[in-house]
Structure 1
Amino acid sequence: MTSRNGSVSLGTPTGCLAMFPGQGSQRAGMAEYLIKAYPSARRLFARADEILGLPLSRICVSGSAEELGRTEITQPAIATTSLAVWHLLQSAGYRPAATTGHSLGEYPALVAAEVLTLESALELVRLRGRLMGEVAREVPGAMAAVVGLPADQVVAACGGAGDAGLVQIANYNEPLQTVISGHAHAVEQAGKAALEAGADRVVPLDVSAPFHCSLMNAVEEEFTAALAAQPFADPVLPVISSVTGTYVRSGEEARELLRRQLTGPVRWVEVLRTAARHPVGAYTEIGPGRVLSGLARRTLGEVRIRSTGDPRRLTAIYGALAPDQWQPALAS
């Protein structure tokens, strides 16, 4: 991985991977503590409100789960919450060896690496959410997690359900958890085939669109034009792409990977294995929820993992980084 200044940095044995979560990590009130406790988070949310023309601060503090669950709201809400945590930790001295994001999380990861500005990322994320929502209204789609079956057997189960419609792999989340996406009936048939092949269970996902499959081709042209209109810089911090599971070499490659991300699967297992090889010794989930922490533990075994998705965990990390700063911030 070559940074903007030409140096190579792949981390050290004690280096940390900053992981940004994707859609599904949201919850009502997820930024209430952040906004009330930390002035920098309030400022970032206020800026996001201006950029988006949305009352995002209110939604992330007191909005209902139904309001937050609308894809066009969910995506900028998660990205902004994650970036508020990122800037807070960064101000306290947090310096990861590399960064990555699960699907939507790739946008704040690129902001952290200075590939995208906050403004560009939020504008793209809002459009991405709106376009995905349009697909959801037009196509009876679904997604489901297949648990307890190797990925190659899940691929075979999808192939056997072709007569019922389109169904494809959306996420390689961990060695024995693979998410499928496509037409609702085809996803149901592929799930039945996976259970017959020995899967422990098939869990329908509460999502509004069939993400990361070729049904998203319908909105690719408009999103590609939006990507072309935004500036992309070369990364100053190593970024591992969830599209390829390998390092992003340039801003132009980052742009192309975000285009491919619409219809291609998330290769999270490869992301984690790439980080472990290069060598990252700790993992921090930056944003709401603890989904990525669980995936890392089940993929890599006993590794050092910290999350920031609730007040106790965030306070513990921030307090350890900046013991002389965090109490005044909480009181302000």
Structure 2
Amino acid sequence: MSLGYLFGGGVGSEPRGVALYHGFVGVRNLYEQVAEWTGLSVGQILEEDLPEDVEIRQSVGTVRESVHAIAVHDVLAEHGLRPSVLGGLSLGGMSAACLAGAISRRALFEMLAYARNTPGQPVGTPEQGLALAFEPATDNTGHHRGAGRPGVYLAGTFGLTTDGATRILMLSGEKAALDALATELPQGSVIPMPGRSIAIHSPLRAGFRTFMAPYIDAMPFQDPGLPLISCLDRRVLVAAEEVRDMFHRNPTDPINLVHICEAMKDEGVRLGLVMGGSVPDGVLRFPFPVVHVDRPEHLDQVMTTVFELGIELAPGRSPR
């Protein structure tokens, strides 16, 4: 196995995939199909402002991010590229599960659309937020910035920067606690993320997890047809119920990009294609060469790198 597809997580507010949409008929057809499944218009999915309501905004944002990542996959497939192994962070893990054959595209997008029905937080609930945390790579204490502080949770581990000097983490929790932590620690150690009002990958999303549980229990999962790397545990998911468990745990459990990359390396990945725009280019260190694929102009670099490395491509699978 040699070619790995890595899908980032996160839900941004900016348009995604506009150039791909206008450049490829297959991508336009995909967006029209997703619009039919979700009840959203193509414009809402592609580039219009996201709704103000927190849960509806999150739901539409996840549809936007996931369809963009899957569109990148489909464009690469048009150019003869197929992954040997897949993995992703959070929402990216669910997109990867879909492309590995564990769940149909329709089932994935109908689930993401259903999430907009999530009840809002009770009146008086503390405001939530996210923050990025930066610590020296030499810090091997095992304690993250804010460890033990009420209202602060480790939500994600992204690994080292390209120079190997700094480890990047994501913190989740109560906004006031994150803001206070950023003020008390040395400047730049903790940076609250603006516009992020959902404490993803923390116990504060237990209500969302409970709301979605019956829906996920009823979803028709299958054993993945390709190696699927979990972002929650350092392992390859091989059974339908393991994938279902990942979907259940995703809202409340911390994610780990290092686990994905180490497992991909163990699977023999020699080149990683980072799908979509949610993992910043040139910031993180990977254990194998990577090419970020977000726009049509990235295709030439992908094809050149694949040729230079002599990557052997896996047999293709038809979209479901």
Do the two structures share a fold, i.e. TM-score over 0.5? Answer: yes
The 5 Å alignment of 1:292-311 reads: 293-294=281-282, 297-300=284-287, 303-311=288-296
Distance 2:107 2:286 in 1: 33
For the structure 1 residues 285 and 159, does the alpha-carbon distance in structure 2 shift closer, same or farther, using more than 3 Å as the test? closer
Question: Are the aligned partners of 2:11 and 2:65 in contact in 1 as well (CA < 8 Å)?
Answer: no
Distance 1:271 1:68 in 2: 32
Distance 1:208 1:75 in 2: 15
Once the two structures are TM-superposed, the CA of residue 92 in structure 1 deviates from its matched residue by 2.7
For the structure 1 residues 120 and 223, does the alpha-carbon distance in structure 2 shift closer, same or farther, using more than 3 Å as the test? same
Partner amino acid, structure 2, of 1:205: M
The 5 Å alignment of 1:114-153 reads: 114-128=101-115, 131=118, 134-135=120-121, 138-149=125-136
Partner amino acid, structure 2, of 1:27: E
Aligned partner of residue 95 in structure 1, secondary structure: coil
Partner amino acid, structure 1, of 2:251: L
The 5 Å alignment of 1:224-303 reads: 224-291=213-280, 293-294=281-282, 297-300=284-287, 303=288
Please identify which structure carries the higher helix content: 1
Question: Are the aligned partners of 1:135 and 1:209 in contact in 2 as well (CA < 8 Å)?
Answer: no
> Which whole-Å deviations, capped at 9, do the CAs of 1:118-152 have from their partners, x for residues lacking one?
11111222334653x83598540111011134586
Which residue does 2:49 correspond to in 1?
A: 64
1:204 aligns with 2:192: yes
Once the two structures are TM-superposed, the CA of residue 210 in structure 1 deviates from its matched residue by 0.8
Once the two structures are TM-superposed, the CA of residue 278 in structure 1 deviates from its matched residue by 2.7
1:168 to 153, 159, 170: 153
Instruction: Indicate the larger mover: 312-321 or 111-120.
Output: 312-321
Once the two structures are TM-superposed, the CA of residue 99 in structure 1 deviates from its matched residue by 0.3
2:168 to 174, 177, 191: 177
Distance 1:313 1:68 in 2: 34
For the structure 1 residues 62 and 103, does the alpha-carbon distance in structure 2 shift closer, same or farther, using more than 3 Å as the test? closer
Which residue does 2:164 correspond to in 1?
A: none
Question: Are the aligned partners of 2:22 and 2:28 in contact in 1 as well (CA < 8 Å)?
Answer: yes
5+ unaligned residues in a row in structure 1: which ranges? Answer: 1-10, 322-332
Distance 2:250 2:47 in 1: 31
The 5 Å alignment of 1:15-164 reads: 15-24=2-11, 27-28=14-15, 30-55=16-41, 57-64=42-49, 70-128=57-115, 131=118, 134-135=120-121, 138-149=125-136, 155=143, 157-162=145-150
Aligned length: 296
5+ unaligned residues in a row in structure 2: which ranges? Answer: 161-166, 307-320
